Structure 1
Amino acid sequence: MTVLTSTDDREPAIWTDGLAKNYGNTVAVDDLHLEIAPGEVFGLLGPNGAGKTTTILMLLGLSEPSAGQARVVGLDPTRQALEVKRRVGYVPDNAGFYGGLTGQQNLEYTAQLNGLDPATRRDRIASLLDEVGLAERADEPVRTYSHGMRQRLGIADALLKDPEVLILDEPTLGLDPRGADQVLDLVNDLASQRSVAVLLASHLLGQVQVVCSRVGIFVDGRMVASGTVDELAAQHGGRLVVEVQTAQDDELEDQDLEERLRDLPGIVSVHREGELWLVGAQHDARQDIATRLQEAGLTVVHLRQRSEELGAIYRRYFAEEGSGDTVG
């Protein structure tokens, strides 16, 4: 069992305890424990069929759990599904709109369904279209929009109700790099400026690493690990890499410097890459490295921790956990 705990002291925006979903003998989600804080962007990372979408459906009250419980903004999705939907914005992997209507008209329709009065919806729609970068295309039919534009319109649509939680299911699927960057920048802004909790489900490792403050790795319906990228590397015996550069006029021989660094506790590798020394460590060794070099009379001009790539961490977890029958 892996417990995903936020460090935020406020009430979690999303909380689950032992959440599970079975379809006959097939386990879709198994014993999920999760906490996501307001303003946090949490990445649900796993391949297709790992259980990400099934988890989302339970959080939205669209599928009843087989076991366990969930709370979204303090509400039980199973018993209070309508209230959850009023307070949670959801963007599926392919947001659907009426192609013959303009972007503004589509948002007007959603605003009416959500009971917004004319003045409120007019101001909110104008503001959201500007926020997602579609103000200049607001009066054009949605059938003329690119996939990336429709995804951004989907985010605006989800934000009309001024939600406390935004759930995105593969939001950049099928987008070109520029379109994906625009969506991810928008997600970052929402979390930091609006304090919206964002749950982002994706199989795209690099994008999750860029935008999410914490990541949960889903394998065969189970959350096998969670934390920041650095924490995930440490949990799995991975390593951190520290980039080190000293002043060019320092006279210590390379071999002597390498030996001094290798002698530090927790150091697993030392090698040179151009002007940088790359020091592999089992923990954050920056202070130890700086102290050791200063003791040797060297001037440190560059010292930065480089996280292990999320892809390498994920591959180790996936290989170790194996593969079974899952859905969603």
Structure 2
Amino acid sequence: MDDKVIELSGLTKRYGEFTAVSELDLSIRRGEIFGLLGPNGAGKTTTILMMLGLAEPSGGRATVCGIDATRNPIEVKRRVGYMPDDIGFYEDRTGLDNLMYTAMLNRISEAEARRRALELLDRVGLGAAADKKTGAYSRGMRQRLGLADVLIKQPEIVILDEPTLGIDPEGVRELLALIRELSRDEGLTVLLSSHHLHQVQQICDRVGLFVGGKLIASGDLAALSQLLDGQSAYAVELDVAGWSDRLAEDIRGLERVTAVSLQEPDALDAAHRAEGIVTVRINGSDDIAAELAASVVGSGASLLGLRPLRYGLDEIYHRYFEGGDPIGELH
């Protein structure tokens, strides 16, 4: 059974001579949280609008839950909950009233609408504010209400466009935790668009790097790190006393080792230099920490430190964007 609930194939959007989205290929699996990461103006919102059938592609195709979004946008909207970056509510009505109105627009009976609305308000931490007019809600409260609003029709997919915009740091932390909790508990597929690196890194299972209308890479952090680091998925730093050329050759001979490099002496602290301790970086095609430790100890040298290394999303993001060449999708 195919678990891909969103499939974009050659998706393109042009406005005259300007190409907002260029030949986008992307698949998102059921139940995952996918982060579409890129600077403002990269084409993220345009992509979302084409997925919802709110903008017609200039080329290619967007399929959501097996439905062509251009040919049958109404059916897509029944399956998808969408929260734009600035969601609007009737400010002279309460949070409960707004949710019930959305529910009844989706042909949910009044009794069921009230039940779902009260349950969701509690779930997003707004139970005590259910009867408060939304005009008095803070930005963070409005975003929480927005989550409840997209969930009230029980969608299969939730699309959140810059959901943390304008929220204070503690509110961001709480909102991201809530999104992850809802995704896991309800089995929801979540597409989250953002230009905030650390927020995407905290919550997403996979990330797509988007710039200039092009998806230049996508995958989980390990896959992106592997591609960035010349096909070396893993890197380890060792602090060793008694390092020798013989030990270096033994490590280079290990099956999954791809590179061995000594850190420059000037980069080491004075204590390390005085005690003859060297720091060695070793890259490999797989997790090689156990074999490295055994090689060092077996040679008679002293292993004083072992640190697995991995690129953070911020470094991956900036390194890719320096080049800007499309790379493709990793699974």
- Taking structure 2 as the reference length, what is the TM-score of the superposition? 0.83
Contact 2:33 2:206 survives alignment (8 Å): yes
Q: Secondary structure at the match of 2:68?
A: coil
Q: Secondary structure at the match of 2:173?
A: helix
Query: In the alignment, which of 26, 49, 55 is matched to residue 63 of structure 1?
Result: 55
Query: In the alignment, which of 280, 283, 296 is matched to residue 281 of structure 1?
Result: 283
CA 1:253/1:154 → structure 2, altered by over 3 Å: closer, same or farther?
A: same
Contact 1:20 1:31 survives alignment (8 Å): yes
Residue 320 of structure 2 corresponds to 317
Q: CA deviation at 1:169?
A: 0.5
C-alpha distance in 2 between matches for 1:119 and 1:40 = 32
Amino acid at match of 1:222: K
Residue 3 of structure 1 corresponds to none
Query: In the alignment, which of 142, 148, 162 is matched to residue 154 of structure 2?
Result: 162
Residue 195 of structure 2 corresponds to 203
Aligned positions, number = 308
Q: Secondary structure at the match of 1:116?
A: coil
Residue 241 of structure 2 corresponds to 253
Deviations 1:98-157 (A, max 9, x none): 122111111011111111112221221111111111111111111221111111110100
Q: CA deviation at 1:233?
A: 1.6
Query: In the alignment, which of 178, 203, 218 is matched to residue 170 of structure 2?
Result: 178
CA 1:97/1:310 → structure 2, altered by over 3 Å: closer, same or farther?
A: same
Amino acid at match of 1:320: G
C-alpha distance in 2 between matches for 1:101 and 1:257 = 75
Residue 149 of structure 1 corresponds to 141
Residue 33 of structure 2 corresponds to 41
Residue 76 of structure 2 corresponds to 84
Q: CA deviation at 1:253?
A: 2.4
Q: Secondary structure at the match of 2:54?
A: coil
Instruction: Map residues 113-128 of structure 1 onto 2, 5 A cutoff.
Output: 113-128=105-120
Amino acid at match of 2:59: A
Residue 233 of structure 1 corresponds to 225
Contact 2:6 2:64 survives alignment (8 Å): yes
Q: Which has the higher contact order (CA 8 A, sep 6+)?
A: 1
Q: CA deviation at 1:38?
A: 1.1
Residue 92 of structure 2 corresponds to 100
CA 1:321/1:101 → structure 2, altered by over 3 Å: closer, same or farther?
A: same
Q: Secondary structure at the match of 1:173?
A: coil
Contact 1:41 1:213 survives alignment (8 Å): yes
CA 1:130/1:243 → structure 2, altered by over 3 Å: closer, same or farther?
A: farther
Residue 109 of structure 1 pairs with residue 101 of structure 2:
yes
- Taking structure 1 as the reference length, what is the TM-score of the superposition? 0.84
Amino acid at match of 1:318: F
CA 1:262/1:86 → structure 2, altered by over 3 Å: closer, same or farther?
A: farther
Amino acid at match of 1:211: I
CA 1:263/1:183 → structure 2, altered by over 3 Å: closer, same or farther?
A: same
Amino acid at match of 1:31: E
Q: CA deviation at 1:244?
A: 6.4
Deviations 1:181-207 (A, max 9, x none): 111111111221111111111110011
C-alpha distance in 1 between matches for 2:60 and 2:142 = 35
C-alpha distance in 2 between matches for 1:290 and 1:85 = 55
Residue 329 of structure 2 corresponds to none
Q: CA deviation at 1:295?
A: 3.3
Contact 1:45 1:203 survives alignment (8 Å): yes
**Worse overlay, 102-111 or 51-60:** 102-111
Q: CA deviation at 1:241?
A: 4.5
Amino acid at match of 1:64: E
Residue 135 of structure 1 corresponds to 127
Q: Secondary structure at the match of 1:65?
A: coil
Contact 2:259 2:284 survives alignment (8 Å): yes
Which of these two proteins has the greater Rg computed from alpha carbons?
2
Residue 328 of structure 2 corresponds to none
C-alpha distance in 2 between matches for 1:122 and 1:99 = 19
